[in-house]
Amino acid sequence: MSQTKKSERSTTGEDSNPPGLPFADENPIDAGGDQVTYPDVSSITGASLSEIREEDRARALKGAQLLAKCLQLEGVDVLFGYPGGANLEIFDVLRDYGIRCIRVEHEQGAAHAAEGFARATGRPGVCLATSGPGATNLVTGIANANSDSVPIVAITGNVPSPLLGKNAFQEVDIVSVTAPITKRSYQVQRVGHIPAVVRHAFRLATSNRPGPVLMDLPKDIQQHYPRDPEGNYAPPRMPAIIERLEDPVGGFPADQLEEACRMIHEAKRPVIYAGGGVIASDASSWLIQLAEKLSCPVTTTIMGLGAFPPDHPLALHVLGMHGTKYANFAINQADLVLAIGVRFDDRVTGKVSEFIKHGKIIHIDVDRSELNKNKRVTLPIWADLRQALPQLAASAQPGECAEWVQQCQDWRGQWPLTVEQVEGKGINPQWAIHQLSELTGGDALVTVGVGQHQMWAMQHYQVRHPRSFLSSSGLGTMGFGLPAAIGAKVGCPDRLVIDIDGDGSLNMTIHELSTCHRYGLGVKIVVINNQWLGMVRQWQDMIYKGHRAESDLSDPATSVKRSSEVEVYPDFVTIAAGYKVRAERVTRSSDLAAAYERMLADPEEPYLLDVVVSSDENVYPMIPAGATYKDIIMCSDDLGHDHDHGKKDLIR
């Protein structure tokens, strides 16, 4: 699954230039309308209420109302946003249509929350921002959704149509900005086109390969009522009837199904390599059925976590740069790989020419552009997993691979992901996450930021359900964890939602603690706090001879403390208190279990637990970028130089 998709800019409206902006006294604004942010200018297709025939006014809906009604018809009952001058018309009417707004503290948080909602529920998430900086603040979240194929609909207000292109206050051409990172970006130019644009947006976001869609509504489009040239109110059909924008992708063509079944039956060393496409297609049960029928070992990407039970005898866990050694060995020594809903990402393949060098590959994906893009395969199949996996499970017959299954199980026993906590030493971060997994039974819905903690969570939190591990995997967006957890909790209020975050990553969006408190969202935040940009520091030690340039997060003014004291910066417990979120800090391994119990005691209470861990722990296994599975590093002793240069301890 690719990180970028070809996008197109779409506008719906007249080709003619908008009329010039008159003086305010030439066009008085209707009482009850927006009389502050922008003057009002009517057009032949939309006008203020006073310009609609009197007998039509009682039933007339303006653009903002049409939008809210159409969102309601799409099943939207909640969105994430932030108000501003160019979207106040929309905010003003949401409650009239039963739509709740979760007001975040920054628009990037709105986009990530929409992602969290979508990934946790399978329904499209919606975010709403004003023009200019409000719209551009959404861009990182939109790009993130594009990389990870998440269905979100981003709605932005903009300056009135007559001001577009005039460098007006808070004007940005957000349609052009987002065109490369959306499935499509629209700007609505006629009030009557709102229902069609909304229907297009939601169909595109969720069809075939999911992804983000943007709708930009100038302020006058929100304010005006649709009319015909004679001044009659001209209500558009809701919901709109639209032409199909994408042909639905089907299942296996008959000849390819026969060929795939032949290859599977002849294989002696098969491996299933499953990714986020399995989760997005809600096809996890079919994956399990297929694997069990074929007695085929299964490895997943980080996006595929939860698609296959971690304790299943056929489970190989995660592969790739920081995946298990046994998964990386198995896929590279397989004679057949079934690549299902994956995109052969560089963090999985390493040196592409050496990845699965001697095995055959069947690649099934809903996005035809992914086939043979990063890795040439034996049998590329353009198909929807919702149909393809049931077909394959029904038709494929296993080969003779009992010895291979035993070999994979032997490798798993030989190279396990182990965790160790030495009594009296600093808290081991892997052990801290393992303990959380044990305590929750792997049943929590987990979000993560980006960094070492993300990889440790991938390795040591045993995810048991689909749509339960939400990670910024393609774009690698620090700060993703907390707002994504907010969206997930809003979408799944009865589930335990835990953001496993790092101190560097959390610091980018910690203001969203306010959102947790304001809306009573019982999100739990576990901070794996090592006072470093840990992954940056690890690479600096490995590549730059220990030159830890700007990766130290501790207070530079801190003097050496007594051994009984722990100095951390910033003080997340105090920050949380400022947002009225309960928090505590743990520095000793013997205190961790009780702290977890306190954190989990009240499912409705937001809670931050700051876990101060050993500062120089690295993420292993690790396959260096551009290397192969044969170059895997299992521990610090495998490194060829002193990686401990510049070591710093939190507990002195």
Catalytic residues: 107, 169-170, 219, 535
Name 271's bridge partners: 337
Q: In what order do the strands lie in the sheet with 445-448?
A: 469-470, 445-448, 497-502, 524-529, 607-612, 582-586
Distance CA 39, CA 621 (A): 61
Going along 283-373, which residue ranges are E strands?
Answer: 298-300, 315-318, 336-340, 360-365
How many C-beta atoms surround the C-beta of residue 49 within 10 A? 18
First-residue to last-residue Cα distance in the chain: 46
Tell me the two tokens of residue 163: 């001001």
Identify whether 621 is preceded by a cis peptide bond (ω within 30 of 0).
yes
Spatial contact of 435 and 461, defined as CB atoms under 8 Å apart: no
Determine the 3-state secondary structure of 12 from DSSP. Answer: strand
Contact 492, 531 (CB under 8 A): no
Measured CA to CA, the distance from residue 623 to residue 266 in angstroms comes to 31
Contacts 24+ apart (CB under 8 A), 233-238: 233/52, 233/53, 233/56, 233/57, 233/59, 233/60, 234/192, 235/59, 235/60, 235/61, 236/66, 236/192, 236/193, 236/194, 236/195, 236/196, 237/195, 238/66, 238/69, 238/70, 238/73, 238/195
8 Å CB contact between 545 and 641? yes
Angle formed at CA 564 by CA 562 and CA 565, multiple of 5 degrees: 70
Residue 445's DSSP bridge partners are 497
Q: For residue 610, give the 3-state DSSP assignment.
A: strand
